[in-house]
Chain A
Amino acid sequence: NAGVTQTPKFQVLKTGQSMTLQCAQDMNHNSMYWYRQDPGMGLRLIYYSASEGTTDKGEVPNGYNVSRLNKREFSLRLESAAPSQTSVYFCASNPGTANSYEQYFGPGTRLTVT
């Protein structure tokens, strides 16, 4: 049982390049989330998917797109990377059922945009 997995672990991009961050969970969870973590800012929600087939914007969605490919997988795409998107990105999942508010996190992707 791997939990939440993310690929890649590290990535360096040049400004304007695109990339997709991959996330998968094997816990049969309904809800999945993408966060970014910056020093002193805590975790900020980029996008989330409450259930398969739905996606919604979080606090900081600009510059990102997401795809809920199936129940297991939720990807985050940067179409034209900017230095302001240098961050650590975390994927998380949650059962998405009554009273299930705790989140399960992946190990993160450290992205640098030069």
Chain B
Amino acid sequence: AQSVTQPDIHITVSEGASLELRCNYSYGATPYLFWYVQSPGQGLQLLLKYFSGDTLVQGIKGFEAEFKRSQSSFNLRKPSVHWSDAAEYFCAVALSGGSYIPTFGRGTSLIVHP
């Protein structure tokens, strides 16, 4: 069965610093990959997705993610974090040809210090 690992439960950064959130998946084929963001008290919003093609994908709010097949990773990055980026971030994986149901990681909570 596919699985998604987000090894960091919490990440603390200073405003203006760069950010990288880690995501690793376990599956033989290349899955469809997603990052979602959940602001406090809100539902999840899609940040970006990777299906195929260019392994560096751009998303909303200045985020990007890079798919590395050799490392089974899909890490999320942002060059300069803003206080409004404080939220919970979820990586998700879906199988092509499947029932459109993604598997979610357990999430990483981002804390931004002024």
Which residues of A are in contact with B by a Cβ distance under 8 Å?
A: 4, 31, 33, 40-43, 45, 48, 50, 58, 90, 92, 94, 96, 99-108
Contact = CB atoms under 8 A, between A and B. Distances in A.
Given A41-B106, A42-B106, A101-B102, 9 more contacts: A42-B105, A42-B107, A101-B32, A101-B49, A102-B34, A102-B49, A105-B44, A108-B42, A108-B43
B56 interface: no
B78 to A, nearest CB: 20
Contacts, number: 53
Interface of B: 9, 32, 34, 36, 41-46, 49, 51, 90, 94, 96, 99-102, 104-107
Contacts of B41: 107-108
20 contacts: A4-B43, A40-B9, A40-B106, A42-B105, A42-B106, A45-B101, A50-B99, A94-B100, A96-B100, A101-B32, A101-B34, A101-B49, A101-B51, A101-B94, A101-B100, A101-B102, A105-B43, A105-B44, A106-B43, A107-B43
B7 to A, nearest CB: 13
A49 to B, nearest CB: 11
Best-surrounded residue of B49, B105, B107 (most CB of chain A within 10 A): B107
A90 B43 contact: yes
Q: Which 4 A-B pairs have the closest CB atoms?
A: A105-B43, A42-B106, A101-B94, A43-B104
B2 to A, nearest CB: 13
